[in-house]
Homo-oligomer: A and B are copies of this chain.
Amino acid sequence: MEQPAPITMKDIAKALGVSVATVSRAMKNSPRISDEQRERIQQYAREHNYIPNVIAENLRNSRTKPVKIIGVIVPQFEHFYFSSILSGIEQEAMSRGYTIMVGQSAEQYDRETLLCDKFYQNKVCGIIVSQAKDTMNYDHFKKLINSGVPLVFYDRICTGVDCSRVVVDDYQGAFNAVSHLIETGCRHIACYMSPMSLEISKNRYNGYRDALLRYGLEPDKKMFRICDNRADAEAITPELLSQDEKPDAFFAVNDDTAIGILYTAKRMGFRVPQDISVCGFTNGQRAVACDPMLTTVEQRGVLVGEEAADILISKVEGEIPMDKVVKRVVRTRLIIRGTTR
């Protein structure tokens, strides 16, 4: 407690003429800055005995400034992808001296507007949100922006306001997954998507279609279904697998649906992956619990959360102009496991 205050990320940023976000990335060995930049910053930090420590950072902040709060709206905590995003937001916020206030919209517009009001009353410095499925009116978001409260959307972006956002590369993720299915010998690839009104469905479907076209295969309407949960997948898959021209692979919009397909195929006597390949999208805890383990597109929720918090904090701290719309895309990763050949 009696030691001289160690230098902060801000001190380093000032001395080197870079942003605090850049210093933060250098310290985390983020791939998002050049090797040269990273080495220069890390060297300066070493020479000045910088302590890259969440706790130290926070102690310094807590003594000099009021605690800053970020509001976070999550559709539901019990959804693995959302809880991993929340974890990323919290980690980035804490490492930069911020605290988070959270609420679940439970997919209800009313709750979402209520949370916006509550966060505003609590003087949050900004809000990170994935909108509820039934939100069609965007006045609550516009009101916040007009009051000077920055917003950042993640996962489900709001098409009603032009706003900063972090999404994953749904198109490329789907393209890579379906390319893998084709390259391992599959030719009749079924596709199960969420309703096509959602951006993620459009983007993932387009990636699926373009991968087929790229390999000279024709998209077939009989191989497409609107289906995004296990119960529905178990209900509709027997019909597809009883057809004369049956699929030899399935690409599903999420892991839950993929697991429904996997077990239905096994129950009907097909071998996975010898007869039928299955690929999901998420890479949640279920993907390694099923047998065989699921090949899937990893959505990297922690990274999505970190990026969303980084945009918001950079705006609050003046490193990004408040009115600038920042759009970042987090790259997915194809995780190949036992349900594909």
Contact surface of A with B, Cβ cutoff 8 Å: 54-55, 58-59, 62, 66-67, 69, 76-78, 80, 83-84, 86-87, 90-91, 94, 99-104, 110-111, 114, 117-119, 121-122, 259, 263, 266, 284-286, 289-291
CB of B99 within 8 A of CB of A100, answer no
Given contacts A69-B122, A90-B102, contact A54 B111 (CB under 8 A): yes
B55 touches A114 (CB 8 A): yes
**Chain B residue with the shortest CB-CB distance to A263:** B291
**What is the CB-to-nearest-CB distance from A19 to chain B, in angstroms, rounded to a whole number?**
24
Instruction: Tell me if A's interface is mostly helix, strand, loop or mixed.
Output: helix
Closest-by-CB residue of B relative to A284 is: B285
Other A-B contacts than A55-B114, A62-B118, A90-B104, 14 sampled, CB-CB below 8 A, are: A55-B110, A55-B111, A58-B114, A69-B101, A77-B86, A77-B87, A80-B80, A83-B83, A94-B114, A99-B122, A101-B102, A285-B286, A285-B289, A290-B290
Q: From residue A217, how far is it (CB to closest CB) to chain B in Å?
A: 31
Q: Are the C-beta atoms of A103 and B90 separated by less than 8 Å?
A: yes
Q: Tell me, in angstroms, the Cα distance from A99 to B86 when the chains sit together.
A: 16
Indicate whether A78 sits within 8 Å of B67 (C-beta atoms), given known contacts A62-B117, A103-B94. no
Query: In the complex, how many angstroms separate the beta carbon of A238 from the nearest chain B beta carbon?
Result: 18
Chain B, residue nearest A119 (CB): B99
Tell me which residues across on chain B come within 8 A of A83, comparing CB atoms. 77-78, 83
Given contacts A101-B99, A102-B90, A290-B289, contact A78 B80 (CB under 8 A): yes
Interchain CA distance A259-B287 in the complex, whole Å: 13
Q: How distant is the Cα of A78 from the Cα of B103 in the complex, in angstroms?
A: 16
Checking B84, B121, B289 against A286 with a beta-carbon cut-off of 8 angstroms, the contacting residue is B289
Q: What residue of chain B has the Cβ atom nearest to residue A293's Cβ?
A: B263
Q: How far is the CB of A87 from chain B (nearest CB, A)?
A: 4
Smallest CB separation, A327 vs chain B (Å): 25
A55: which B residues are within 8 A, CB to CB? 110-111, 114
A102 CB → nearest B CB, Å: 5
Complex Cα distance, B77 from A104, in Å, reads: 14
Residues of B near A69 (CB, < 8 A) are 101, 122
A162 to chain B, nearest CB (A): 28
Chain B residue contacts of A94, Cβ below 8 A: 103, 111, 114
Sorted nearest first, the 6 A-B pairs with minimum C-beta distance are A286-B289, A289-B289, A291-B291, A77-B87, A77-B83, A83-B83
Chain B residues, CB < 8 A from A54: 111, 114
Q: Which residues of B contact A122 (CB under 8 A)?
A: 67, 69, 99
Complex CA gap A67/B121 in Å reads 7
A289 proximity list for chain B (CB < 8 A): 259, 285-286, 289-290
Across the interface, which residues of B come within 8 angstroms of A59, CB to CB? 114
Contact present for A77 and B67 (CB under 8 Å): no
Report the separation of the CA atoms of residues A111 and B94 in the bound assembly, to the nearest whole angstrom. Answer: 9
Enumerate chain B residues within 8 angstroms of A104, measured Cβ to Cβ. 87, 90-91
A77 interface neighbour in B77, B259, B290, Cβ under 8 Å: B77
Interchain Cβ contacts under 8 Å between A and B, 11 examples = A66-B121, A77-B77, A78-B80, A80-B285, A94-B111, A99-B101, A99-B122, A285-B285, A286-B289, A290-B291, A291-B291
